[in-house]
Every structure is written in C-alpha cells, then in structure tokens.
Amino acid sequence: MPTLLNNASAEPDAVVEFDPVIIGKMSQSGPRYTSYPTADRFTAEFGYGNFLEALAALRMRGGRRPLSLYVHVPFCDTLCYYCACNKIITRDRSKAATYLSYLKQEIAMQAKLFAGMNQIEQLHFGGGTPTYLSEKQMDELMAHLRQHFDFASDEDGEYSIEIDPRTVTRERVFSLRTQGFNRISLGVQDFDDDVQKAVNRIQPEAETVAVMQAARDAGFRSISIDLIYGLPKQNLETMTATLRKVIAASPDRIALYHYAHMPHLFKPQRRILDADMPDSATKLAMLGLCIARLTAAGYVYIGMDHFAKPTDELAIAQRQGRLHRNFQGYSTRAESDLIACGVSAISSVGAVYSQNEKTLDAYYEKLDEGMLPIARGIKLDTDDVLRRIIIQMLMCNFELSISSIEQAHPVQFRRYFAAELEQLRTLAKDGLLLIEDDWLTVTPKGRLLIRNICMVFDRHLTQARAAAAATPDAVQPLRYSKTV
C-alpha cells in the first residue's frame, strides 16, 4: 500500500507518497539533472573561445546579476570506497601548495573577464575534501578571492563549504566561520560501525556531533549532512539507528543519496564486496523508512534527495518559487551564472556549460599557456534553453504552467511537445502527474520519480536511446545511477 508522508509544520502541499510497487516498476538509470543538457553531452569541440563568446554576449545584454562561485579542492587523505567524486588521494601536502598557485591564477583570470559584473552572492567549496587545505592556505585563498571579486555581505550571501568531520577541530570550525563561511556541510553517510568499515570511512558519532556543535557555537547559519542508503552492510535495523542519531543531531538540511554501485566506472568501488550489498527490496524499504522518519521529525521534503527544516532558506525558497538546481544540487539562488574554478569544475554562463580539465597535468598545462583550463563544454540552442527551463520548473516546483512557457517562448506547447505529452499520459495513468489545460502537476506519488518525468523532456537522452536501439549488439555503458 502507498504511504502518505507529510510534515505538519510544512506547507499543506508538501506531501510525498511512497509507493514501492510503482517505484519498483519505474526505477531505471537516469540523469540527476544538475544541468541540462547533462555533462555527458559536453564535447571537446567546445573550448576557451566559445566561453569568451558567451561572456561577451552576456556583457552585451547588460549582465549585472549576482554570481555564484564554485571552488574545487580535489585532495583527500584517505579513500572512501563508495566515492565517485573527482579526487586525488595523497598525504603529500606539497601537491596542494602547487595546486593552490594554479587555482589562484585561474581565479584572477576569471575575475578579470567578469570585471564590472563580479559580485558574488553564493560561494561553495567542494571536493575532495576542502579542509585538506591548512588554515593558513585557506586564509590565503579566501583573501585572494576577496581581492578579485566583490562579495555580498555575510547577511545577504550564502557561503558554504563541505568538510570531512575527521579533518577538523573545534578551533578549525571557528576559523572557517571567521574566514567568511556561513553554511557548512558534513559528510556522514552512515553511523553504523560495520557499514563504516565496509566503505573505509571510520567516523565516530561523537566526533561528528562535536563538529556540528562547534559550527552552531561559531555562528554558522545552516548545517547540512549527507547520508547514503544502499551501502554495504546496511539494512533496516542499521538505518533506523542512524536516522535516530541524525534526527537527534538536528541538522538544518539533509541530503539522502542513493548509492550508485558502478565499479566498472569507479575503481575504488571494486573493493566493496558484492555479498555485502543490500538487495533491491531492502534498498527500497530503507528509502521509505528514511522519508517516513525524516518527515515525521519535521523535515520538509524538498525534492529528489533533499530535506530541510521548514525554517531553512531552502524550504522558504521553494515555497516562494525561488528554488533553483545546479551542480551542487538544490540552491536558493535562482538563475545565477556560475563560475567554477579548479580541476574538473563546471561553469554555467549564459547559454553555455564549460568543464575544466580533469587531470592536474592538463589543468596546469592550459594555465601555463595563459588560457582558462577548459577541456569541453556545450553551447545551448533555443530548444535546449526551453527544455532546461521546463526541467528546472519540474525539479524545483513540481508543476509547470503551460501558458507561462508559451508567453516566454515562441512555441505552441501542445504541438511542440506532442510526443512528450503522449509519454506523459502514460505516466499520468500510473498516477505520477496530472495533465490539465494549463498545468502539468506532479502528484505526491510522482515526486520521488521526478527524474523519470524530466527524462521525457530530455531530447539528447531520447536521441541517444534511439541510436542505441539501432545498434543493439553494441555494448552500451551504464552512465547514470538509478532514478530511485
């Protein structure tokens, strides 16, 4: 039987319905839509010149809106077996010093290009482990950023950093606040000892809770934690215990990710024993358990894998229609252009996406040549822009006004998307959405399957699947995680 899960302190429509039968039927591989087109559609034909053209077009249109800035620090001390991030495992701290010198060079180049329209309202440090950098290195990097960009006030800006609780002391947490960060995100994944051993991430609960308390004492505006379900050794009993500890720790936001076991793509995952992996039914039951416990504890289901307290800016932004989705997940800064610095980082400026080189050597080589270290990207055509808007609206608001699309774009929606609407009618029969004269509305049952709904509008994915169907004997690589 489907279960309605609601939060009494949230908005009345903040309901998600967990139906294991329909989820089991619909779950498939699919994009997470942190961008559209997705990163696997980027090509090496896109280069530095294309980025400069996009920036020139933005300047001609009078682009003066605030920016988001992402900084990638790829280094980690130890290897977590589940991890699929672009990271470098090393204890040779000299590598970080070299990287910082090049990172500062890229930051200075980007700042020069964005001169006159360079106010930052959102900053995010990701990795790897950003706190791999020493306190002194972080001081120097933040000073360099402030020298080259105009940052909004602490009250108006959202400045976040991902940390590994095992790498920081209480004093370091206070230093991060002094350096200008006002939001903090902690990797937790699971509190169970056996699960932690199975993924090579030993992280005592007391250590994590102490870091969260330090962040509160230091005046951080929001504390977020990451959890993963589907890890080796996990079951309903261990997940219940972890959720109890998480709820007691009371973070402001929780990201609950489905572990994507793809050892053919990510070599560290080959160290995980297949015999330790929970089966599909157990993973599905764990998801239902997580949603039920978190919403009962007062968290609002934001979408996909995000939960937040109703007083958190993320929940408020969703209620006000200001929610956005980018490469860091759900965001409160709608439609900000994103400058991304560091190895493998992806920028979104105007109608282009550009990704930096993925290896340190290639990243350094481009910068030594005096160019931004862009390796690949894509320029969106008018159809891409239209579909990006539709996917954003569905991912963030769970509804779409057809008339608003027709007013903003020269299309007759029902004619232009006739094939898509036919597919949506099939999903509507399964109760995932309502198709009305002027609205597409995702139902409570459809919210967990929002990726499936958005995939209908993904022209690139449709074309790739058609090409794959035309060559059935070819080996097709598994590129995506399961939608649920």
Of 133, 144, 140, the residue nearest 110 (C-alpha): 144
pLDDT digits over 410-468, tens only? Answer: 999 999 999 999 999 999 999 999 999 999 999 999 998 999 999 999 999 999 888 87
Contact 70, 124 (CB under 8 A): yes
Tell me the C-alpha distance between 426 and 275, whole Å.
37
Q: Is the dihedral of CA 191, 193, 195, 201 positive or negative?
A: positive
pLDDT more than 70, % of the chain: 95
Tell me the C-alpha distance between 7 and 15, whole Å.
7
Where do the H-state alpha helices sit in 123-279?
135-148, 170-178, 193-198, 205-218, 236-249
Tell me the C-alpha distance between 17 and 6, whole Å.
9
Is the pLDDT reported for residue 3 higher than 80? no
- Residues 217-230: what's their mean pLDDT? 96
Helices (H) and strands (E) in the chain, counts: 17, 22
From residue 177, how far is each of 226, 256, 404 by CA, in Å? 20, 25, 42
pLDDT digits over 100-115, tens only? Answer: 999 999 999 999 999 9
Q: What is the DSSP string of 157-174?
A: -EEEEEE-GGG--HHHHH
Give pLDDT, residue 472.
64
Higher-pLDDT residue of 1, 263: 263
Is the pLDDT reported for residue 8 higher than 50? no
Q: Which residues pair with 400 in a beta bridge?
A: 440
* Per-residue tokens: 18: 């967990």
End-to-end CA distance of the chain: 18
> Under 8 Å CB-to-CB from 282, ≥6 apart: which residues?
234, 235, 236
Is the pLDDT reported for residue 9 higher than 60? no
This prediction has a pTM of 0.91
SS3 call for 428? helix
Give pLDDT, residue 129.
93
Give pLDDT, residue 413.
96
Give pLDDT, residue 363.
97
Give pLDDT, residue 7.
39
Contact 41, 463 (CB under 8 A): no
SS3 call for 251? coil
pLDDT digits over 46-94, tens only? Answer: 999 999 999 988 888 776 678 999 999 999 989 898 888 778 999 888 9
- Model confidence at 1, in pLDDT bands (50, 70, 90)? very low
Is the pLDDT reported for residue 140 higher than 50? yes
> Under 8 Å CB-to-CB from 35, ≥6 apart: which residues?
326, 327, 346, 348, 353, 388
Contact 41, 378 (CB under 8 A): yes
Mean pLDDT of the chain, nearest integer = 90
Strands 88-89 and 75-76: parallel
